[in-house]
Amino acid sequence: MTTLGAIFLPHLPPERLRSVAQAADQAGLEQLWLWEDCFKESAVAAMAAALAWTERLQVGIGLMPVPMRNVATVAMEAATLERLFPGRPVIGVGHGVLDWMGQIGARAASPLTLLGEHLDALRALLAGGSVTTEGRYVTLKDVRLDWPPTSAPAVLAGAEGPKTLALAGAKADGLILPGGTDPDRLRQAVATAQAGRDEAGVDAPMRVVVFVPVAFGEQSDADARLEANRLRWQWPAHRLLGVAGDAAHVAAGLQPWIDAGADTVVLQPMDDEPDPEEFVRTVAQQVRPLVD
């Protein structure tokens, strides 16, 4: 069955997270996702709070920019969260927005090399290993977590370009595709990542998470809000980039992404969403029963 989630957008103040996370948990939503957009909110601090405020909700980070963090720090954060809240954190890493990385003096000359080295080290540390490596960007000497997770959490990688997709397929447990990924592009991305996975000899199934912009409401108003969102992001008009309407229309409209290979579809509210608590309740209580 397809997993459904929703996004807590970081333009909302951090103090709003508690009510949204608790509404999602009480409504039975499967996943709530957080973004670490510069320079808004710490996704790790927000994840810890959201997990502590809830009982069963999985919380995802989509994603932590690897140029901002030493891999040992990411491993300690992920391991601690997994031990505190087993099976509920979902960890995502990626390049980050390169211009933002430049603003903080962390832009890598080869983001692909950095991401590959980071993924290798992070997954080895979370598996409980002692890691020694001297790469172009990641250097560790006999580093082992004192408190590794009992079961290593999945590490997903955000990816768009073909080289990053192939790398993610080879080195991560799955993919995160951003809003603006239409079903055709998703299908191509999955194929590219799977080819990288096959070449690397990885047999484990690959998880595929995609963010899909959604506007709930009366059809004409919801369509207008979705179109405003498209214009804001400067996405082309001829592609299927989101869904608008009532819960039944949205549920049916998500099927093309599911058919294209997504096993997790995360609904992304519009920036002008007036009631994020009601948004997560609608996803859980009205859309979820209609999606296989």
**pLDDT for residue 237:** 85
Please state the rounded mean pLDDT for residues 237-251: 94
Please state the rounded mean pLDDT for residues 44-59: 98
Least confident stretch, 92-96, 229-233, 284-288: 229-233
Q: Are 36 and 42 in contact (CB under 8 A)?
A: yes
The answer to whether residue 246 scores a pLDDT higher than 90 is yes
**pLDDT for residue 161:** 96
Q: How many domains does the chain have?
A: 1
Model confidence, pTM: 0.96
For 221, list phi and psi in degrees, rounded to 5: -70, -45
The answer to whether residue 239 scores a pLDDT higher than 90 is no
**CATH code, 283:** 3.20.20.30
**pLDDT for residue 108:** 96
HSE, CB side, 13 Å, CA atoms: give it for residue 46: 32
Cα separation, 178 vs 220, in Å, equals 25
Query: What is the per-residue pLDDT across 56-108, written as a single tens digit (0 to 9) for each?
Result: 999 999 999 999 999 999 999 999 999 999 999 999 999 999 999 999 999 99
Q: Are 116 and 132 in contact (CB under 8 A)?
A: no
User: Quick one: what percent of the chain has pLDDT higher than 90?
Assistant: 97
Which residues form the domain of 32? 3-290
Q: Are 190 and 165 in contact (CB under 8 A)?
A: no
Average pLDDT in the chain:
97
Query: What is the per-residue pLDDT across 170-196, written as a single tens digit (0 to 9) for each?
Result: 999 999 999 999 999 999 999 999 999
Cα separation, 172 vs 287, in Å, equals 29
Please state the rounded mean pLDDT for residues 19-43: 97
Please state the rounded mean pLDDT for residues 285-289: 98
For 276, list phi and psi in degrees, rounded to 5: -65, -30
**pLDDT for residue 238:** 78
Cα separation, 19 vs 192, in Å, equals 39
**pLDDT for residue 169:** 98
Please state the rounded mean pLDDT for residues 51-56: 98
**At CA 137, angle to CA 133 and CA 143, rounded to 5?**
35
Tokens of 279: 């948004």
Q: Return the SS3 of 234.
A: coil
